[in-house]
């Protein structure tokens, strides 16, 4: 089948990419899309095809198998991490950290996550207004993953800036790639210093455990250790911030669903699943590289071709989800692909779910009459790469005293 090229810039309007993604999904199973850099990718849009491709061993996660990648992308040190590796390397790398992220281990973090959440809300509830991304959605997962890994609190702003620099608008033609490289080098140096500090002064954290795994044998070399630290650090918050931001906005835009959730907070876990399906952080999708010539949806993809698996399009495929453009927290379907599928299925899914559940429960109970304090056309989005999220979410609500203050008054 011949597939004409479509520039990704047009369909991927970050304010609302879904209508364009739907049009692509309806017109053909695979589109030849040109990213702004000129990099051609094969974009797969239908649920069944994306699901099958996510566990197809002929599609690699390792960018070194790409025919067309720029050096900047190939040099990305994430390509030394599990997300850029195929089995058996992938299996070895993932096994080293998988225990720390099981549903049971993560459940043990609940009291601390609730405490961090309450502390953040204590600062904003008396004011009656807040910017929910910067003051809540972002600091919550950064604090959680920072504490888990053992990143000093004072350093968290630095790595946040470097991550923004690296991830925001990676395909924008006006983007200065030297800035991306500089941010990546600073992050690399910072992590190397942090690893050295853990080696000198071991602590009770995940990074110290990984340093020990490196020093004890051949299970992890130094570059793999840095790549692992980097992956866990950024994957641990860049996505969850969008779950909280996009999810809160989706609820504000659907007051009937918000009221339903307020009336029955036991629905929060299923609401989180529906919000992940409806407007998940991974948008348009994730990349793979063809290890051989192969067919997807009747379209021939050549060896070395980069394939973009459009999770955001698949999760609104009417052949899989009835009435997919309607947010319905009662109809949540765990079959969504927001966390991927197959061997790379999100390692942090239990943690992200828990953070989302704690965050939405707290927002519902502690911010009465929550309302959007910006016009729709004032909302600004990050995106253009793999992820999409709100830059800011201004809200108002009825002020209430901080919990600590209430306890003192009582
Ligand atoms: C709502 C939040 C999140 C979403 C939507 C999300 C989404 C995803 C997706 C789609 C993948 C698969 C990538 C692929 O197949 O190439 C993935 C992988 C991964 N995620 Fe998440 N993620 C989230 C939160 C987290 C958190 C909190 C962590 C904590 C460390 C995390 C760590 C990882 C890691 C390490 C991988 C790579 C797994 C592998 O390659 O085996 N994620 N995530």
What tens digit of pLDDT does each residue of 129-185 get? 999 999 999 999 999 999 999 999 888 878 777 777 777 655 555 666 777 778 888
Compute the distance from residue 246 Cα to the ligand 1 centre, in Å.
17
- Could you report the per-residue pLDDT of 18-57, keeping only the tens digit for each? 999 999 999 999 999 887 666 789 999 999 999 999 999 9
User: Tell me: the pLDDT tens digits for 1-17?
Assistant: 555 556 554 445 778 89
Neighbours of 346 (CB within 10 A): 18
Task: Answer whether 144 contacts ligand 1 (Cβ < 6 A).
Answer: no
Residues 270, 275, 278, 283: what is their CA dihedral angle, to the nearest 10 degrees?
Answer: -130
Distinct helix (H) and strand (E) counts, the chain? 18, 13
Collapsing DSSP to helix, strand or coil, 151 comes out as coil
Mutate to test the pocket of ligand 1, among 239, 246, 285 (most ligand atoms within 8 A of CB): 239
Rg (CA), the chain: 21
Is residue 360 within 8 Å of residue 264, measured between CB atoms? no
Q: How far apart are CA 207 and CA 92, in angstroms?
A: 17
Distance 346 CA to ligand 1 centre (A): 4
Residues 320-339 pLDDT 10s? 999 999 999 999 898 999 99
State the Cα–Cα distance between residues 328 and 359, nearest whole angstrom: 19
Start-end of H helices in 99-176: 103-107, 110-124, 132, 139-149, 156-167
The H or E element spanning position 51 is: helix 47-54
- Phi/psi-derived region of residue 293, left when phi > 0, alpha when psi is between -120 and 50, beta in every other case: beta
Of the listed ranges 69-78, 278-287, 371-380, the least confidently predicted one is 69-78
Distance CA 259, CA 252 (A): 10
- The answer to whether the CB of 390 is under 6 A from ligand 1 is no
The protein residue with its alpha carbon nearest to ligand 1, atom 14, reads 344
Question: How far away, in angstroms, is 214 Cα from ligand 1 center?
Answer: 23
């Amino acid at each position: 089948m011949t597939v004409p090229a479509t520039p990704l810039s047009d369909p991927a309007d970050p304010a609302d990419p879904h209508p364009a993604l739907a049009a692509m999904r309806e017109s053909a199973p695979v589109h030849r899309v040109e990213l702004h850099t000129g990099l051609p990718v094969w974009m797969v849009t239908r649920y069944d095809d994306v699901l099958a491709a996510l566990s197809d061993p002929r599609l690699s996660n390792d960018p070194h198998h790409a025919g067309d990648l720029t050096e900047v992308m190939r040099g990305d040190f994430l390509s030394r991490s599990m997300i850029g590796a195929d089995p058996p390397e992938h299996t070895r790398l993932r096994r080293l950290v998988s225990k720390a992220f099981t549903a049971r281990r993560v459940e043990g973090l609940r009291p601390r996550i609730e405490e961090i959440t309450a502390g953040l809300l204590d600062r904003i509830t008396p004011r009656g207004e807040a910017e929910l991304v910067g003051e809540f959605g972002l600091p919550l997962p950064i604090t959680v993953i920072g504490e888990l890994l053992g990143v000093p609190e004072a350093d968290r702003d630095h790595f946040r800036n470097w991550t923004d620099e690296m991830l925001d608008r990676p395909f924008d033609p006006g983007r200065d790639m030297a800035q991306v490289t500089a941010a990546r080098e600073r992050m690399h140096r910072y992590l190397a210093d942090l690893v050295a500090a853990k080696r000198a002064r071991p602590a009770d954290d995940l990074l110290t455990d990984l340093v020990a795994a490196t020093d004890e044998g051949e299970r992890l070399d130094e570059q793999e250790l840095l790549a692992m630290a980097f992956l866990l650090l950024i994957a641990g918050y860049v996505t969850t911030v969008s779950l909280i931001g996009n999810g809160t906005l989706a609820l504000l835009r659907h007051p009937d669903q918000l009221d339903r959730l307020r009336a029955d907070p036991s629905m929060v876990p299923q609401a989180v699943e529906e919000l992940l399906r409806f407007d998940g952080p991974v948008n348009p999708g994730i990349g793979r590289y063809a290890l051989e010539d192969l067919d997807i949806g009747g379209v021939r993809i050549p060896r070395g071709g980069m394939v973009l698996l459009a999770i955001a399009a698949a999760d609104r495929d009417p052949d899989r989800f009835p009435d997919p453009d309607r947010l319905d927290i009662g109809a949540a379907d765990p079959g969504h692909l927001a966390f991927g599928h197959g061997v790379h299925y999100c390692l942090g899914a239990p943690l992200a779910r828990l953070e989302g559940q704690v965050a939405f429960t707290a927002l519902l109970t502690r911010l009465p009459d929550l309302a959007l304090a910006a016009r729709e056309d004032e909302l600004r989005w990050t995106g253009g790469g793999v992820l999409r999220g709100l830059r800011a979410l201004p809200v108002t609500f009825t002020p209430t005293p901080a919990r600590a203050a209430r306890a003192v008054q009582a």
